[in-house]
Amino acid sequence: MNTTFLQACRGEPVDYTPVWMMRQAGRYLPEYHTVRSKYTFLDMCKTPEAAAEVTIQPVDLIGVDAAILFSDILVIPEAMGAPLEFHENRGPVFPEPVRDQAAVDRLIVPDPEDKLGYVMAAIRLLRKELANKVPLIGFAGAPFTNATYMIEGGSSKNFFLTKKMMYTAPELYGRLLDKITESTILYLKAQAAAGAQALQIFDSWAGVLAPRDFAEFALPYVKRIISALKESGVDVPLIYFANNGATLLEQSKTVGADVLGLDWRINLDEAAKIVGPGIALQGNLDPCALLLPHDKLEERVARILEQGKAADGHIFNLGHGILPEIPPEQAKFMVDAVHRLSRRA
Ligand code: CP3
């Protein structure tokens, strides 16, 4: 069994640096498109056999050291009662955005086995099919990031409506975030119970907040999730990824996570200095750097591995999701380079 990823998360010694890629189960793989052509994106999320199949693809094809469940952060808002649509090539849409008291009151805190049973079924199936080859990572969106989609009605440029609610209706914002937080706690507990061996919280939009607002409107909810999980005895490594969060690290290090994920805008050794001992780091190659010729790409990999030595545990990853345009051979070259260059005697 390859437990290198789990050991690195806990800051334990490893034979080589483990590597996986955010969005590794996705559109850069022709094999993904073959499965995807038979389903809509959401139907694929809700069909455990299909979700399991594309989850395993990068393990077999690219050689990563962990599998991440194929799903989406937005299944939680949907389970809470906000209808969700994915429009081809336009991303997620909430046709009934959550912008007032009545809309917040209508949302439920779903029983995960009832409303999100397909996720737990996929996890159980994956644990069987992976047969301990590599660990399985489960995930959820951070409350702030999920809230932006629910309030804006989809992706956003300047997050005007989200910030408008934060600033002009803070109580309403708080009630919405409380509901998302409670739902996420139950959801992540259920994932761990179903067999997820690590859990990542994606805060993709944290970086649009001023440090002061991150402290008030985003971080406390993530803290609450992590405390609740730890208090209830969930003992899998917890990873917090705040995208574009280099300027928020002083705060993120207090969130209680075992691992902090980093984008490419900060060097790992600098981040390690800020974060201090007891927390592993995950990252942080610019996804576009996968387009570099092999010699230059290898140089980048080597530099990140070197900087990662400053941390109490390093998991190699991209600084954000792999892009659909990336040739799979380049991803494979990167993964092989991480293994080759980091191997201890
Ligand atoms: O990492 C993995 O391989 C696991 C699967 C995964 C997906 N989405 C699959 C997906 C994970 C972990 C996510 C998380 C997610 N989803 C985030 C947080 C991570 C991040 O990237 O910041 C966010 C913000 C979303 C919301 C979302 N889902 C958007 C904005 C989009 C459309 C934009 C895009 O990249 O096309 C999606 C769709 C989506 N989620 C796809 C995949 C493979 C593409 C769907 C397709 O096949 O058409």
Domain ranges of the chain: 4-342
Q: Is 212 a catalytic residue?
A: no
Q: What is the pLDDT along the chain (345 residues), one digit of tens a residue?
A: 899 999 999 999 999 999 999 999 999 999 999 999 999 999 999 999 999 999 999 999 999 999 999 999 999 999 999 999 999 888 999 999 999 999 999 999 999 999 999 999 999 999 999 998 999 999 999 999 999 999 999 999 999 999 999 999 999 999 999 999 999 999 999 999 999 999 999 999 999 999 999 999 999 999 999 999 999 999 999 999 999 999 999 999 999 999 999 999 999 999 999 999 999 999 999 999 999 999 999 999 999 999 999 999 999 999 999 999 999 999 999 999 999 999 986
> What are the φ/ψ torsions at residue 177 (nearest 5 degrees)?
-65, -35
Considering the domain 4-342, what is its CATH architecture?
A: Alpha-Beta Barrel (3.20)
pLDDT in tens, 159-201: 999 999 999 999 999 999 999 999 999 999 999 999 999 999 9
Sequence-distant (≥ 6) Cβ neighbours of residue 174 within 8 angstroms = none
ipTM of the shown complex: 0.92
Q: Is 124 a catalytic residue?
A: no
Q: Is the CB of 73 inside a 6 Å radius of any atom of ligand 1?
A: yes
Q: Is the CB of 41 inside a 6 Å radius of any atom of ligand 1?
A: yes
Burial of residue 161, with CB atoms counted within 10 A of its CB: 0-12 exposed, 13-18 middle, 19 or more buried: middle
Q: Is 72 a catalytic residue?
A: yes
Using the mean position of ligand 1's atoms as its centre, give its distance from the Cα of residue 310 in Å.
31
Q: Is the CB of 300 inside a 6 Å radius of any atom of ligand 1?
A: no
The tokens for 299 are 């140089």
pLDDT in tens, 306-332: 999 999 999 999 999 999 999 999 999
Q: Is the CB of 92 inside a 6 Å radius of any atom of ligand 1?
A: yes
Of 56, 191, 189, give the one whose Cα is nearest residue 120: 191
Q: Is 106 a catalytic residue?
A: no
For residue 24, give the ligand 1 atom closest to its CA.
3
% pLDDT > 90, the chain: 98
